[in-house]
Amino acid sequence: MAAPSPPPVTIAPHLILLVRCRPDEDGDGILEVIFKDEKGEQVARNAQPFNVEPASSPTAWCGAKLTYEQLGTIEAHCRVGQGPVTVVPLTLLAPA
């Protein structure tokens, strides 16, 4: 996305996730998202409990304030409980 102004800049993007619950699962869990900069250092974290009806796929919302000292990419490392991590990048580009 284009930066709203030259860095340093703080943005508050919204991350929408689809959370699937298989019929044989109880539907309770913790959604954790750790935001990491290009050096792999944690810059923000969001963790929240949720309950999903079995055999459904509702959405979950995650927000964080991310400060970019320079243009580049921050990655959202998303996982439910101790499950696998899915990485979603957000690259901040020069202001339009």
Taking only the tens place, the pLDDT of each residue in 16-72 is 888 878 888 888 889 999 999 999 999 999 999 988 887 776 777 777 899 999 999
Q: Which of 2, 22, 24, 21 has its CA nearest to residue 11?
A: 2
The total number of structural domains in the chain stands at 1
* Higher per-residue confidence, 14 vs 85: 85
Domain range enclosing 51? 9-92
**pLDDT tens digits for range 61-80:** 777 899 999 999 999 999 99
Q: What is the CATH number of the domain that holds 72?
A: 2.60.40.10
**Interatomic CA distance for residues 91 and 27, integer angstroms:** 32
Q: Is residue 72 part of a domain?
A: yes
* Higher per-residue confidence, 13 vs 42: 42
* pTM for the structure as a whole: 0.85
